[in-house]
Amino acid sequence: MEAYHKPDQQALQALKDAANRLRISSIRATTAAGSGHPTSCCSAAEIMSVLFFHTMRYKAKDPRNPSNDRFVLSKGHAAPILYAAWAEAGFLQEAELLNLRKIDSILEGHPVPKQPFTDVATGSLGQGLGAACGMAYTGKYFDKASYRVYCLLGDGELSEGSVWEAMAFAGFYKLDNLVAILDINRLGQSDPTPLQHRVEIYQKRCEAFGWHALIVDGHSVEELCKAFGQTKNQPTAIIAKTFKGKGISGIEDKENWHGKPLPKNMAEQVIQEIDDKIQSKKKLSPALPEEDAPVINIKNIKMSSPPDYKLGEKMATRKAYGFALVKLGHANDRVIALDGDTKNSTFSDLFKKEHPSRFIECYIAEQNMVSIAVGCATRDRTVAFASAFATFFTRAFDQIRMAAISESNINLCGSHCGVSIGEDGPSQMGLEDLCMFRAVPNSTVFYPSDAVSTEKAVEIAANTKGVCFIRTSRPENEVLYSSNEDFQIGQAKVVVKSKDDQVTVVGAGVTLHEALAAAEQLKKEKIYIRVIDPFTIKPLDKITILENARATKGRIITVEDHYPEGGIGEAVSGAIVGEPGITVTRLAVSHVPRSGKPAELLKMFGIDKDAIVQAVKVAVSKSKNAE
């Protein structure tokens, strides 16, 4: 509080004028586009003016400078006022604002990272604060820099549970470099928000989560300046009472105007009314940052030595993941690990023991954990690996989807996949994860089958752009590959091969080991099969699979510890579409499983060695009968 210096009347008037220029730009742009959210922009005009031209320190011509203060517009539909602020700061041309939402403009309907001033895509509500927490955690604990993080939320999105996961995280880790501004404009999309203008309830909620919470008049630049000047040893929530459509006569605080641009004649009249309030055309310049963010390098991270495993040694891939992460942490000090209170099952606890200051415990809040990872990875400040049971990433699918839209480079490891976990039963079994991650644009899906390939997957993922998913298993399986085996994305391994092979079997993780056992059994009966380990399910090595299928009379059997939809079988089937004379038989978990011993469940669902043997015999006899 003692740091607060009240701006003089001239400065306050300049901030009011800037706020009204932001209003005019937002109305003009949305009317030109014929769509957008001018009323959502207008409630935040004073907040944006004070933030961008009084409070935040940044280089307007270098929006991604690592020392700049960060800004996240969680209420992404108010994008036009974000663009207006960057035009007011001199980064964008005013004329470009009129290209809002056009196919050849970077100014999309919601913020996206093709805009140099946008770190994370927003618009799926309730996610901005989690990403802002990741940025603030990185600033405080990894960069140890003075930049601050500001996140503007709408009151509608405060019904999202993910917001309160982020509130709890920030409160617990005392992120005193984080400020959340709640734009309490009373109205949602189709109805008033549940609390409307009961700002004192929001204040109590924020305080209960460990935040310093202040109620302000969100249209008073003086109150906002004062509130932003207050810092405590905890995150700050500024609860701004505002009116939706503020400054638009006849629309201010009225329902049924969400997401509707003003008709042209109405817009012109309103713009004139607002313009009449502006006393000076003089633009304000932002304060410059203290350039104290360290120079770092996260490119081309290499393990210091090859994997240290012996052929035939037994090791669960989930444990090999933990060892690999430890090693990667030694290779680069910007590698960080996150977990959701499963670290002693995913084995990320090995990383915590070795690199305690670089481990973030996110507790049982997987949606927030993914958002934290996205925030930590912005501006290439860290290489983030987040782990949980594979099945629990399903609840964070929206965050993962938005991570892809954010062009984020995050690495997610899902352990305990499939029925092979055994007795814990279906609620703990990852059976949809391959389907989910394959659907994510620009994702890479690793499914290592032994300790060596797991270590290689971790190293490759650290250097791969986009969302990477590593699927690890609970059972201990034999090491199949020597430590000098080379692994590449989209490159499968032919593990068993002879000139007499009659069927190609594709398996991964536990089912690869079942396929190898089936090959041994069939060999005794003079039936030979080729066994392929895909290593990555996306991208899939189509060439290797097709070449080997053709060499085995066009017969492929896929076997997976996953539901049939969207897994290995469908990936392989998609790869061979239009290829004549090739058939695919798919073995997968056909319905909701149950508790039991791993071997019993693999047998029950027809994905064990015996099921593969049977499927091979059926395939071979079919062709004999056809002959």
> What is the helix (H) or strand (E) element at residue 574, kind and residue range?
helix 568-575
| Euclidean distance between CA atoms 377 and 68, whole angstroms | 16
Judged by phi (left if over 0) then psi (alpha if -120 to 50, else beta), residue 418 lies in left
Q: Is 366 part of the annotated catalytic residue set?
A: yes
Residue type, 481: Y
pLDDT at 2: 45
Residue 489: exposure state from Cβ atoms within 10 A (0-12, 13-18, ≥19): middle
Question: pLDDT digits over 184-243, tens only?
Answer: 999 999 999 999 999 999 999 999 999 999 999 999 999 999 999 998 999 999 999 999
Residue 465: exposure state from Cβ atoms within 10 A (0-12, 13-18, ≥19): exposed
- Start-to-end CA span in the chain (Å): 89
Question: pLDDT digits over 13-59, tens only?
Answer: 999 999 999 999 999 999 999 999 999 999 999 999 999 999 999 99
Tell whether the torsion through CA atoms of 160, 164, 165 and 170 is positive or negative. Answer: positive
pLDDT at 615: 98
Cβ count within 10 A of residue 549: 25
Backbone angles phi, psi at 335, to 5 degrees: -75, 130
| Euclidean distance between CA atoms 298 and 300, whole angstroms | 7
pLDDT at 6: 87
pLDDT at 1: 39
What pTM did the predictor assign?
0.98
| Euclidean distance between CA atoms 176 and 571, whole angstroms | 47
User: What proportions of the chain, in percent to the nearest 5, are helix, strand and coil?
Assistant: 40, 15, 45
Catalytic residue (choose from 108, 366, 432, 570): 366
Residues in the chain where the model's pLDDT stays below 50: 1-2
Least Cα distance to 504 among 472, 478, 534, 461 occurs for 534
| Euclidean distance between CA atoms 466 and 112, whole angstroms | 15
pLDDT at 571: 98
| Euclidean distance between CA atoms 265 and 33, whole angstroms | 15
pLDDT at 248: 98
